[in-house]
Structure 1
Amino acid sequence: MPFASFIVCTRNRAKALAACIRSIEETCRAYPAITTELVVVDNGSTDETQAELRRISAASGVAITIVMEGRPGLAFARNAGMQRARGRVLVFIDDDCEVGRGYLGDLQRYYTKGNRVIRGGRVELGNSCDLPFTVKRSLVPARFTPDVHPGGFVLGCNMTMHREVAARIGRFDERFGAGAPLQSAEDTDYLVRAYALGIPVEYVPDMMVYHHHGRRERAEIEKLHRSYSLGNGALCLKHLFKAPWLLKHFFWTVRSAFGETFSGARFDADLQLSHWPIVLMNLVGAVRFARLWLAGRATPTELHDVSEAVSRLERGP
């Protein structure tokens, strides 16, 4: 059993994937005494990903397992990777990220201290030309509490856990995540479920990765932010009874949206995003989750009514 399994899920990002794998190989070479493996899940790529993976695998000094997962959705891919991984510690890295050279040493140091946690590290921009989004730059270690929103507390592009923790929490919810109906938040859902089971969620300022997300236009960030807000709204309804504190964050957002109308104070100091799209997409996400939940329980007429409500919300006023 290797100490660590790096799990990288990919779809149509052959060039970025090659850089990601090179960075993992570099940290493995820097710590040859630590046993590792790499599990790459191809989630239905139509570019040259498979050829690139064969080339890399033939020359790599790291044991690479290539997994095909044809069902579209990041949660499907994460579950497929988790199922094939053999390591004691599971390390989820996105295909557009590169790990720091000292990553594996930091990982071993933290998991020598304690295993029964979900732990995420720092995420810096890989390219300074990209807008400062989907990063976490804090230099202060922290442990999650319901006083902060779980979205972004630990980013799914740099998330680790002992395999026993993963076995206790279970599979990622395949309704969430990129490529799925709820578009995002499969990682946030995992954190909420962990906290509900009494499993601590920690952020550490090392174990660093560099995120090459490539988004340089504000419209791209706003679109992604709406997707995140949709997923977070679905979480509120899914965990209404197990994590009612999520509603508190929704009400705070509504209050901030009304405050923005009068004072102009916006969300995110760097990007100055509006609170109102968050509120709208939270509602869309909740209704969409209800529609998915009802799919096996409601009559066709009821499903039609819910679908119409979702469509009206998505069109906006």
Structure 2
Amino acid sequence: MAGIRISIIIPTQRRPGPLALAAQSALAQVGVERSEIELVIVDNDALPSAQPVVERLRDGTDIPIVYVHETRPGVAHARNAGMAAARGSLIAFLDDDEEAPGGWLAALLATQARHTADVVFGPVRARVPETARHRAYLARFFSRVGPEAEGPMAGYFGCGNSLVRRAALPDPVAPFALERNHIGGEDDLLFGHMQAAGARFAWAPDAWVHEDPAPSRLTLRYTLLRAFAYGQGPTEHCASSVPPDRLGVVKWMAIGVGQSLVFGAVAALAWITGAPDRAQRLDRAARGLGKTLWFGPFKLSFYGQTT
């Protein structure tokens, strides 16, 4: 393993079909020295349910596949377990519902080198069935869109479809906050701290991936709850800063009140009139409400069940 420079980490939980597709796409990368790559699959299930998929994948590739069975429930546990097992100085994250084209990794690496970036993000193109209700909204919700041109970026996205320079992490082995195990946002918290410390982020428009959301997620109930949780992020980030950014908490809560009232009213009117963008209006209202109701009993759990 001494020659490994790049580790591709795929966390997964009880999704053998999508995992196989994601892993096969990671193993089929071109334009990169195969001897420098390893694939790390983290099985976050009480039972080793992903192990048969890994064994089948090993039979058809010369790229090392590291299997990690992380029985402790939670997305942060899974990502940290992958980091601990990975040998690369560069870490590429691919979700188990994503499929990467052959030039994905090479595009991430090229952007990282050109901009000496600590983290590189690429686009996500959601594939939503034609028959799905509110299809246009769902496609936008599960996609990631950025600038047409490559270059430095001031903000950041989530871990899925990203490349991270390990040396830039505050903790190179376990950088993800365990308090986010059940609610998610562990990647936003990490990248927020890195940004505050002066990390360099870059955008790679050619490093795109497909995402195939699970059918159970293609509902307004799921997406609006997620939008509410996403809205909690900025306020919670200020609250968890050391020392806490109380002024920031107040600012984001005030913004949230305004957004929830304005977009709530617009969403109500849009729903009454049957406007085609009514789901998007509800989404904006839910994000505003999350900025205000970010604490205690309002924290939602999307992860952390392995049985």
Provide TM-score, normalisation by structure 1.
0.76
The aligned counterpart of 1:22 is 24
CA distance in 2, matches of 1:188, 1:250: 18
Provide TM-score, normalisation by structure 2.
0.79
> Which runs of no fewer than 5 residues in structure 2 stay unpaired?
271-276, 301-307
CA distance in 2, matches of 1:281, 1:74: 21
Backbone CA RMSD of aligned residues: 3.0
Contact 1:122–1:205 (CA<8 Å) still a contact in 2?
A: yes
Q: 1:279 to 1:272 in 2, by over 3 A?
A: closer
More displaced stretch, 162-171 vs 202-211:
162-171
> SS state of the match for residue 179, structure 2?
coil
Give the residue type in structure 1 aligned to 2:72: R
Give the residue type in structure 2 aligned to 1:223: L
**For residues 71-103 of structure 1, what are the alpha-carbon distances to aligned partners after superposition, in whole Å with 9 as ceiling and x for unaligned?**
111111111111111112101111111112111
The aligned counterpart of 1:138 is 146
The aligned counterpart of 1:197 is 197
Report 1:1-317 matches (<5 A): 1-28=3-30, 31-32=32-33, 35-44=36-45, 46=47, 48-127=49-128, 129=130, 131-132=138-139, 133-140=141-148, 141=150, 143-145=152-154, 153-167=156-170, 171-177=175-181, 180=182, 183-214=183-214, 215-239=217-241, 241=243, 245=248, 248-261=251-264, 263-264=266-267, 271-285=280-294, 287-288=295-296, 310=297
Give the residue type in structure 1 aligned to 2:145: R
> Which runs of no fewer than 5 residues in structure 1 stay unpaired?
289-309
Give the residue type in structure 1 aligned to 2:107: D
More displaced stretch, 117-126 vs 6-15:
117-126
Contact 1:5–1:86 (CA<8 Å) still a contact in 2?
A: yes
Contact 2:41–2:68 (CA<8 Å) still a contact in 1?
A: yes
Give the residue type in structure 2 aligned to 1:216: L
More displaced stretch, 243-252 vs 218-227:
243-252
Give the residue type in structure 2 aligned to 1:226: F
Q: 1:142 to 1:104 in 2, by over 3 A?
A: closer
> SS state of the match for residue 178, structure 2?
coil
CA distance in 1, matches of 2:243, 2:250: 10
Q: 1:71 to 1:47 in 2, by over 3 A?
A: closer
